[in-house]
A = this chain, B = another copy of it.
Amino acid sequence: MKTMLSLDEASEIMSGICQATGTESVELMEALDRVLAEDVRAAEDIPPFDRSPFDGYALRAADLASASAEQPATLRVTEEIPAGNTPARTVNPGQAAKIMTGSPIPPGADCVVKFEEVSAEGAHVIVSAPFPSGRNIIPAGEDMGKGAMAAQKGTVINPAMIGLLASLGIQDVPVYLRPKVAILSTGNEIVPTGAAVLPPGKIRDSSAFALAGALRTNGAAPLFLGIARDEAEVIGEAIEDGLRDADMVITTGGVSVGDYDMVKEAVRQIGADALFWRIRIKPGAAILAALKHGKLILCLSGNPGAAMISFQLLAAPFIRRIAGHARWQNREIDVTLKEGFKKPSLCKRLVRGHLVIEDGRAVMSVTENQGNGVLSSFIGADLLGAIPEGSGPVPPGTRIKAYMTGG
């Protein structure tokens, strides 16, 4: 088992784990924020016919070639086409059809002239200037040509895609199943959040809730396994329960080096293959990854802040990958630190903050309280800035890499 690896090495190992998630079909409106499981091609043009963007007259541009104020062209109006109606006639030379916004262009016509550009006289329309062929005609397939890729497999379905799928007449959408992820909290000091009065020496289980939220945000379905005491057998049994029902198990606590850190022993006892233990980041160094029945067991720190950072850097991309996202990795960007960071960084240090665009530049504003146990500094945070291993204090204005974690 590898130990004390870099974040990149740990990511590399995790990206080698193959877990396939199934698919299901959901109703169009329920597909919002899900991940599309198949490419969707347009079975027809969207919109399906050439149409007029204005109210006016559909006519033949050739009829207007020599039209002028002195010698206007006079065309006979043969029909009126409100939107939703089909043209009944072909527009022949010397003819025009009154047409409404969104109506199909009648055969023969190759140009639409707006009401305000012409004058109507009884059954005739008088045009005093030439107009080019093709003017004011929105071609069929403006949004999407027949056979074109409407939506790609692995894309998160946003409101516009819902609309596009609706315009194609699609009512049921193939999406990937949400990966089920079981969460186990460990530690004799942990009591359920429901405890109104906190017994002395105890703390409430906050990590499980923060992680459950983060799982949902990343498209997974959380499953609470409860709280296990610091006993290897108890923890091992709970992990096995989780593996039965879920695609992955996440634990918090007991993964460091102390006498009561029983998670590593529990993982060994249930016969899981350990992949790595501890990585060179701060916070979040205490982490163990193991595999059983092809399913990942990821054991995070008992410190809520540290657990959240490990989750965002390693668990979230993994979950998005098995959930079918085409773009599953955290985006990395260059940012300028607005506030400095005073402590030196022996390990790669992850600082919480948020992206601000100032005068066209990407600036990272660092949140105040960066402690291992601290959750409050993740509220409103959408970036994890990475101060390189071996850095001294970092002054304001320093350029660093940051991971976009999406909050």
Contacts and interface: CB of A to CB of B under 8 A. Distances in A.
A352 to B, nearest CB: 9
Interface stretch (A59-67, A209-217, A236-244, A266-274): A209-217
Interface string A149-171: 01100010011111111111111
Copies in the assembly, this chain: 2
Contacts of A84: 187-190, 201-202, 230
Contact of A357 (B102, B143, B362): B362
Given A82-B260, A163-B207, A361-B362, A213 B376 contact: no
Contact of A150 (B103, B333, B376, B378): B376
A215 to B, nearest CB: 8
A15 interface: no
A159 B217 contact: yes
A115 B260 CA distance: 13
Contact of A160 (B49, B150, B210, B302): B210
Interface in A236-294: 256-261
Contacts of A82: 188, 230, 259-260
B86 A209 contact: no
Contacts of A158: 213, 217, 378-380, 407
A329 interface: no
Interface in A176-226: 187-190, 193-196, 198, 200-214, 216-217
A304 interface: yes
A233 interface: no
A129 interface: no
Given A188-B82, A206-B164, A258 B333 contact: no
Contact of A28 (B193, B257, B258, B308): B193
A137 interface: no
> 3 closest A-B pairs (Cβ-Cβ)?
A163-B210, A159-B213, A84-B188
Interface of A: 28-29, 32, 44, 47-49, 53-55, 82-87, 100-104, 115, 138, 142-144, 150-151, 155, 158-171, 187-190, 193-196, 198, 200-214, 216-217, 230, 256-261, 302, 304-305, 308, 333-336, 357, 359-362, 369, 371-381, 399, 407
